[in-house]
Chains A and B, each alone.
Chain A
Amino acid sequence: MSLEVSHLSVSYFTQKGELRAVRDASFSLAKRETLGLVGESGCGKTTLGFALARLVPRPGKVVRGSVKLDGKEILTLGDKELRKIRGREIAMVFQDPTTSLNPVKRVKDHFVEAIRAHQPETSKEEAVAKCRQILSDLGVPEDRMKDYPHQLSGGLKQRVMIGLALALDPKVLVADEPTTSLDVIIEAQILDLIGRLKAKTDLSMLLVTHNLGVVAEVADRIAIMYAGEIMELADARTIFRSPLFPYTQLLLKLVPNIEAESASLESIPGSPPDLTKPRVGCQFVPRCPFAFARCRVEAPVLTEVEPGHLVACHLYAGKEK
């Protein structure tokens, strides 16, 4: 087992009150596994990804839970220990490559700095050589090393970001919507690239996205998040073939099918709840076509209803394994 997250809760302490962005999230990530974390905007998926490396920005705070990497608790590490983990064991790739690089640093200096922060004994020349090797594996022309970020295209920047994230052979990669800001052709290239890199190493990946097409292509297992909670978790095939949670079912129906008769785009009626005022019971009640009395008073707990298939829904009560 590589990464073990249990009962993780993250809140933003805003002037409007406590915004509970992630509530009681538990999942694990095995070696080499890719877990897709799917949900709509504002459901807390990015916050959850950030929390794994304790990067939740102020005024956010992890209020409860544990994140263990190979048995080592990350949430209680001191600053120095935490720095050793970041980049070296858990690495991040962000949504928008255009804002993720320091505008006044050359590409290669980002690498030199990151490599030497963790391996001070590495000489500058060795670090540059490593940077050259990484970038050529990623299909970035060698002469772009000397460029500043603003001289690179979005696709190249994201390749550089991926290279930077993988420069120190981390165990876990948290990729937060790594292709959202790219066009579809570059998206396909980047996904293909991530897939090939993963095949060569023991890297585990948490892929945060709202794009079902992307997870279908890349993920081994999928976690569906709604209003700060993980509502369903199963392997990718099961999620797509036999989803259990009503939100997941509706979500999959929405994927436009070019051969379908209806030309209109469908949506789930209603809107996501205000996370500063969580309701009693299941968060999905107002939008759920199957909601019944129990859903309004008691929050469902994520439970295994089939081998490897977990869902938090009262519809499946009594089916626990």
Chain B
Amino acid sequence: MGLKAYVATRAILTVPMLVILTTIVFLIVRVLPGDPVLLHFGKQVNPQAVEQVRHILGMDKPIHLQYLDYMAGLLRGNLGIAFSNYQPVSEQIFSAFPATLELTLYSIIVAVLVGVLLGARASSKYASVGDTSIRAFGIVSYAIPVFFLGLILQYLFAIYPNELGHSLLPATGRISAGDAPQGGEFFGVHLQTGLYTVDALLGGSLSQFLDAARHLVLPSLTLGIALSGVFIRITRSNMVDVLGQDFVTAARGRGLKERTVLYSYGLRNALLPILTVLGLQFAALLGGAILTETTFAWGGLGTYLYRSIEGYDYTAIQGAVIFFGLLVALVSLVIDVLYAYLDPRIKY
């Protein structure tokens, strides 16, 4: 079929997926009890004003017309106006997303480094004390509530040192007081990504970079360690499988170094399932890690979605879910394409 045709097919298949997703979310938020318009007015309700707001938001129309209106807007790339503050939903999502993306990237790096390296190590020491300890760590890190881990790390590395008069790491937020990094010239174009570490480097400010990085340490360690358990398990079990295969014994029989056997034969052939889990976790994190964001006052998509649900903000919820659906489709497509690069037996 060829790679291009495969990607095109997958992109086209995303459309019905999004239509179904949108329809389900559209219906569910309306089935739930509660009225977003009434919520705005509090106890003093002026029926005329309520009708006026309903009209502005299009809520006075029958539900099937509301649906058609919304779908028509989507076709033009318009996610609608948020009920809570009358801002365009797409703008709100794009301003919340970089925080989530930055946290996701660093957390995944931590999770993969810790998880895959420990998992590989455990498989090479199969059934030994080292293997058992690594597995135990994996289970604990998987089971521990992420906010609890976050609070402990916060206390140990931010609050407690602070009480002793050392400022080791900041406990919350993305940057210290002051302006966010503004990005900079990149091949002649002004670029601002919203990822503070990247923007600081683009702007050439090392102090801003270090500041953003210091703020990232605790939340990304928290999320990364919490996720590493999954990677430890998937890496270990797949590598135990691969390391028992003939070609591994054959490689040892050719006198290759144990490190080569372990990584270039073992891990290399166990990568596919690891990549699958990586894609799923990455996509899930992009939807916003609500608990971590709350613990560290991070303010990304997770917080946005949480506030929208709390405020019965139909369009904001719909917008966030559709955006998330798109990200999941995109990430899984990228993962599928990567399969073909990792395994010569897979062809599109």
Contact = CB atoms under 8 A, between A and B. Distances in A.
Interface of A: 50, 53, 55, 57-58, 79, 83-88, 91-92, 94, 96, 99-105, 113-114, 117-118, 148, 150, 161, 164-165
Contacts, number: 78
Contacts of B276: none
14 contacts: A53-B253, A55-B249, A57-B249, A83-B255, A83-B257, A86-B252, A99-B246, A100-B246, A102-B265, A104-B344, A113-B264, A114-B254, A148-B344, A165-B254
Given A58-B126, A99-B247, A102-B247, A87 B343 contact: no
B255 A101 contact: no
A42 B323 CA distance: 59
Nearest to A104: B268
B275 to A, nearest CB: 13
Contacts of B258: 79
B256 interface: yes
A94 B250 contact: yes
B24 interface: no
Contacts of B244: 57
Interface in B222-269: 244-247, 249-258, 260, 264-265, 268-269
B342 interface: yes
B43 interface: no
B269 A102 contact: yes
A161 B254 CA distance: 11
B254 A117 contact: yes
B343 A96 contact: no
The 4 closest A-B pairs by CB, nearest first: A87-B255, A86-B255, A87-B254, A92-B253
Contacts of B246: 94, 96, 99-100
Contacts of A86: 252-255
Contacts of A150: 344-345
Contacts of A117: 254-257, 260
Interface residues of B, number: 25
A101 to B, nearest CB: 6
B249 A104 contact: no
Contacts of A104: 268-269, 342-344
Nearest to B251: A102
Contacts of B252: 55, 86
Given A79-B258, A102-B265, A148-B345, 6 more contacts: A86-B253, A86-B255, A113-B264, A114-B254, A118-B255, A161-B250
B258 to A, nearest CB: 7
Contacts of B126: 58
Interface string B36-65: 000000000000000000000000000000
Contacts of B260: 113, 117
A83 B260 CA distance: 12
A103 B342 CA distance: 11
B269 A91 contact: no
Contacts of A83: 255-257
Q: Which residue of A102, A117, A148, A161 has the most chain B CB atoms within 10 A of its CB atom?
A: A102
Interface string B191-217: 000000000000000000000000000
Interface in B69-125: none
A128 B147 CA distance: 55
A76 B246 CA distance: 24
Given A113-B260, A148-B345, A150-B345, A103 B253 contact: no
Contacts of B254: 86-87, 91, 113-114, 117, 164-165
B262 to A, nearest CB: 13
A285 B265 CA distance: 45
Contacts of B268: 102, 104
B344 A88 contact: no
A24 to B, nearest CB: 25
Contacts of B245: 99
Nearest to A101: B247
Q: Which residue of B126, B253, B343, B344 has the most chain A CB atoms within 10 A of its CB atom?
A: B253
Given A99-B246, A100-B246, A55 B253 contact: yes
Given A113-B260, A117-B260, A100 B250 contact: yes
Interface in B290-348: 342-345
Contacts of B247: 99-103
A239 B244 CA distance: 36
